Structure 1
Amino acid sequence: MQPVLNVEDIKRVEVELTRVGVSVSELMHRAGYAAAQEVLELEGAKSVAVLCGMGNNGGDGWVAAEALLARGLKVQVVCPMDPDQISGDLARQVAQAAVKAGVPVTVGPSRDELDEVLDEADVVLDCMLGTGFHGEVRAPFDIWIECVNASGCRVVSVDVPSGLSAQTGQAGSACVVADLTVTMLALKPGLLADDGRDVCGAIVVAPLAEQTERLCVEADPVAWRTDLADYRDVMVETSASVDKFTRGSVLVVGGSSRFPGAPIMAARAAARMGAGYVTLAVPQAIAAVCQTHLLEIPVVGLPCDVEGVLTADAAERVAKMARSASSVLVGPGMRVSGGTVAVVSALLRSEAPLVIDADGLNCLSRLTEGRLFDFPEFTRRDAPLILTPHRGELGRLSGRSEVPPTSLSEQLECARQIVWSDGGSEIVVVSKGSATGCVSVDQAVLPKPGPAALATAGSGDVLSGMMASYLAQVGGQSENLPLMAALVCEIHGYAGTVAAERLGSRGVMACDLIDSIGLATDAIEERAALAGLEDASEGQQA
């Protein structure tokens, strides 16, 4: 897994590197060489425009420009001020050295002059604004960014595309759209979520020093980004010696007259994910409708009110059914009422491995007055508990209903607040967003996100059914519950890719994801196994 560090933690790693003998000057030179190397590896790169800001990010650009010139490329640096006037000592020194080496400079160009420079370039090296940027882009960089994006050149950004917050993933009014981002030392949260997903392109991490890996781990990463090989230890082992009883049984509880489709999709997803036996428990008012859509899945009708919402009388029956299930999912389409709160409470008290989604989470919020972290007794249990909130639901659970989290960093912070208050190893919060974090007491794991095709109603119901299914297949036990949850998220994401290839990125509906689960599972597990073999081979060679 790759460590993901907050921007402030990256600064601390830089300080620690200087303490072990890697100077700030050496770091800047290594960063510039790393960026130059990526440009050199681009096919057909002969002419490079290097747009430098006034800080250390610009210093990286000056170093890269000199290195590229030495390798025979045509280089043109664009800078807002004369190199001798740069305020930072180190950035000024490397700029002066580059000019002395023959790097040509265009200082403070007009828009037309910049367009002329870009017209002659194959590649733009973006070194305008670094990881310290936040807020709105100021002149002249706002105009420069517009010119870069309109140029048609391939763009390599150094550390972060200019205009993007490396911490929040939110872009200013102007932001470079890069083909490749060479980020230094470690991944940052903003590169992986929200606007970062649109503007970073491919991401390459340049460690810069042999001590970096150790120092990044010691810096307590905010999260870990998974590689496929990481999933080998949590995958369900394939065997021909199985039957429907040994592949796990899932109980799905949810639904209402207003939302009968959500539990249907969750139950179908649980079956497609490989559970041997799935049972759906819904209000009696919609049981017949659900049965018509589920030929393979038994449907149990539960007591409900005139609006087709579960009543408190259903709680005891649900708790009894949970005793014979390998895992239980509660919440999809359930609505929030006194009855549904009673059902969720009963399942929390049960010994069944439990996944809570959708209105099950809203019931939990109602139980805890919107501050789940103040009521750890509700979630502290011996069996696994997986919560799967999107940002709005997470806000309602963590005292932020009016201002829910708006970035991956805030998602992780809210999820940690919940799991740390619980303090047990059996709880995982799967915080869903443009990037998803699977957060436990010990770590936060970031699966690779799926395509925009997943942004459709019912996608979360499908994921929750898949989650309960996989939990059932591992017997409700996993030595690394957040990694198992991340694997399910990654399969869900790849199911979105498979469905989009068949139906188009805007044509995918939640039911299409269900039909792609089996193919996606096989593909992810096969690739994970191959990645593991490659890692083992490289380790033997080393």
Structure 2
Amino acid sequence: MSLPKATSLTETLYSADAVRAIDGYIINKSEVSGFELMQRAAGAAFRRLMKQWPDVQQVVVFCGAGNNGGDGYLVAANAKRHGLEVRCVAVSAPEKLKGDADSAYQKALADGVEVTRWERYPEDARAELFRAGPVIVDAMLGTGVTGEPRQPFRQAIEACNQSGCAILAVDVPSGLDATTGATPGAVIKADVTVTFIALKAGLYIAQGPEFSGLIHFEPLVDALDGESHGQSGLAVKFDWDGVQSMLPRRPVTAHKGRFGHLLVVAGDRGFGGAGLLAAEAAARTGAGLVTLATRPEHVSSALARCPSLMVHGVTHGSELSPLIEAADAIVCGPGLGKAAWGQQMLQLVLASGKPLVLDADALNLMALRVAMKADNHVLTPHPGEAARLLGLTVPEIEADRVAAARHIQRQFGGTVLLKGAGTVVDSGEELPGVLGGSNPGMATGGMGDVLSGVLGGLLVQGLGLPDSTRLAAALHLAAANRAAMSKGYMGLLPTDIIDTLPTILGEAEGSVVRAIAGGAST
């Protein structure tokens, strides 16, 4: 079962240009004027502010020159009418405002909002300004701004970030590229972002999750009925709640032979833990049988940790070939190394024709070879490995993660899972998938090995490459988030994720388990 092609504005991630085109369609083709749309946006932002900080008494609203600034002036007007103390700061000269943004400014003045220009707050006066506003509203730079913010915006952004105040960003945090999630300069670090019309891809990928905080989507217009009106999305957002229904269901008469045999080829000398993490994660994800092929010196420790595995010490390719023949799919790469042993193992795996999950050193070795395009593999690079595969730098990969994943997929085929905040899954379909959410506790060695094992464990149970990949990415993150609730971020280990996998999977299949238990004989 594959994910449906998303047409809903609540699922599809758009570029900034596409969102502006949808916005223009609303104004030109419906009875909603641009100023009315701005009023709705401001009202939604103010309601979210009050819901998030119900005891707030003072706000400081920073406004720019465009429609984002117009939203800000109307937020200030809303706050004033509701009895809040309002400081409204014009970072750009109000006389530069035009059209709806100017109308918003005039309405704010008419409602009693006092607007002060940013340059009238010298550095020694800013502390008093921020003391007056425990909540800052950022309405400086909208979706139309790319590149590094110029002065005086850079200075205002930095002052807001250093103020210690809570920050609500209107539509996008100022300085964040709404399409790519890149941060070429100073960026507002929001606690909450209220975004409108359609979801901007940059909020969910690259640096977007770091600077956007909690994201709340307000469509503003019901008449669209979720239609994008000719605008193509960049990706489809997915999460565990949305994909867990793809998990294979187990009949009462199930046996291990129905759920596949996975071979994990991993762990050169000194890297035995990587293969063990992948193999144990696969077993915890429901693979019927898991075989680990590794260096002989790692066999005893692997069996001591997880005796349900079949562990084989392999020194030469002739010992690997019968294991490949018995497997339904193969994970290759964790701790593989780039020496002769790893090269020989990878060569045999690539020649097998079996469904493959290629990670870590398998990708590093592939980057040194002539590109081999195939449809039977999943590549799971982190940004550094992606850079090596494409001959680029990590900043170039991170500048447009969706495009980077698409380039890898076109060059190497199969399905690509580009790891990192806003994980991207691209299988060459119309729209890639972007996993919503992130977990800083996963920034430690071995997490990618666990993901490879989870992916391999799902793949051998009969799911196709794209579905297995989306499901694995979402399951991996869900388990990490659950583990972090008790372990925190700094102390999170890959084994914590493995130990939590049965809990997450058990909750997803809970209704089935209860039904079976309820019908059992006593």
Flag whether TM exceeds 0.5 (same fold): yes
**What is the letter of the counterpart of residue 445 of structure 1?**
G
Corresponding residue to 2:197 among 175, 185, 208: 185
- 1:20 — aligned with what? 29
Does residue 509 of structure 1 match 2:493?
A: yes
- 1:536 — aligned with what? none
**What is the letter of the counterpart of residue 41 of structure 2?**
A
Alignment CA distance shift 1:94-1:497 (3 Å): closer
- 2:40 — aligned with what? 30
Matches within 5 A, 1:528-539: none
The C-alpha deviation readout for 1:325-345, integer Å capped at 9, x for no partner, is 232111111123566445434
- 1:93 — aligned with what? 103
Task: Give distance in 2, aligned partners of 1:149 and 1:282.
Answer: 49
Does residue 9 of structure 1 match 2:18?
A: yes
CA shift at 1:39, angstroms? 2.4
- 2:137 — aligned with what? 125
Matches within 5 A, 1:201-350: 201-210=213-222, 212=224, 214-216=226-228, 218-284=230-296, 286-288=298-300, 290-304=302-316, 313-314=317-318, 318-337=320-339, 340-350=342-352
Corresponding residue to 2:51 among 12, 36, 41: 41
**What is the letter of the counterpart of residue 131 of structure 1?**
T
CA shift at 1:390, angstroms? 0.8
- 1:386 — aligned with what? 378
- 2:416 — aligned with what? 429
Matches within 5 A, 1:57-68: 57-68=68-79
Matches within 5 A, 1:135-214: 135-171=147-183, 174-210=186-222, 212=224, 214=226
Could you tell which deviates more after superposition, 219-228 or 114-123? Answer: 114-123
- 2:441 — aligned with what? 453
**What is the letter of the counterpart of residue 405 of structure 2?**
A
SS of 1:513's partner is helix
**What is the letter of the counterpart of residue 392 of structure 1?**
G
Matches within 5 A, 1:471-490: 471-473=459-461, 475=462, 477-478=463-464, 481-490=465-474
The C-alpha deviation readout for 1:215-262, integer Å capped at 9, x for no partner, is 437422211112444214411214443232223221111221132221
Task: Give distance in 1, aligned partners of 2:49 and 2:450.
Answer: 42
**What is the letter of the counterpart of residue 282 of structure 1?**
T
Alignment CA distance shift 1:417-1:528 (3 Å): farther
The C-alpha deviation readout for 1:31-81, integer Å capped at 9, x for no partner, is 222222222434123333221112221011112222333344443321135
- Identity level (%): 33
The C-alpha deviation readout for 1:271-316, integer Å capped at 9, x for no partner, is 1222221111124454455445442212123234xxxxxxxx34xx
The C-alpha deviation readout for 1:442-465, integer Å capped at 9, x for no partner, is 131222334211111111111101
- 1:438 — aligned with what? 425
Corresponding residue to 2:391 among 395, 399, 409: 399
**What is the letter of the counterpart of residue 193 of structure 2?**
T
SS of 2:145's partner is coil
- 1:416 — aligned with what? 406
Corresponding residue to 1:359 among 358, 361, 371: 361
The C-alpha deviation readout for 1:314-366, integer Å capped at 9, x for no partner, is 4xx54543343232111111123566445434434434322111112223223
Contact persistence 1:252–1:263 (CA under 8 A): yes
Alignment CA distance shift 1:527-1:333 (3 Å): farther
SS of 1:241's partner is coil
Could you tell which deviates more after superposition, 140-149 or 91-100? Answer: 140-149
Task: Give distance in 1, aligned partners of 2:486 and 2:91.
Answer: 48
The C-alpha deviation readout for 1:370-412, integer Å capped at 9, x for no partner, is xx4xx43xx134xxx2211111111222232x456442x6222
Task: Give distance in 2, aligned partners of 1:415 and 1:527.
Answer: 36
CA shift at 1:415, angstroms? 1.9
Task: Give distance in 2, aligned partners of 1:404 and 1:52.
Answer: 31
Contact persistence 1:260–1:333 (CA under 8 A): yes
Alignment CA distance shift 1:52-1:34 (3 Å): same
Task: Give distance in 1, aligned partners of 2:473 and 2:394.
Answer: 26
Task: Give distance in 2, aligned partners of 1:431 and 1:527.
Answer: 33
Contact persistence 2:244–2:471 (CA under 8 A): no
SS of 2:368's partner is helix
SS of 1:300's partner is strand
SS of 1:299's partner is strand
SS of 2:258's partner is coil
Task: Give distance in 1, aligned partners of 2:165 and 2:407.
Answer: 44
Identify unmatched segments of 5+ residues in structure 1: 305-312, 530-542
Could you tell which deviates more after superposition, 15-24 or 462-471? Answer: 15-24
Identify unmatched segments of 5+ residues in structure 2: 1-9, 514-522
Alignment CA distance shift 1:449-1:327 (3 Å): farther
Alignment CA distance shift 1:444-1:26 (3 Å): same
Task: Give distance in 1, aligned partners of 2:299 and 2:357.
Answer: 22
SS of 1:91's partner is helix
Task: Give distance in 2, aligned partners of 1:78 and 1:404.
Answer: 34
- What TM-score does the superposition give when structure 1 sets the normalisation length? 0.83
Alignment CA distance shift 1:504-1:93 (3 Å): closer
Task: Give distance in 2, aligned partners of 1:528 and 1:41.
Answer: 38
CA shift at 1:466, angstroms? 0.9
Alignment CA distance shift 1:87-1:415 (3 Å): same
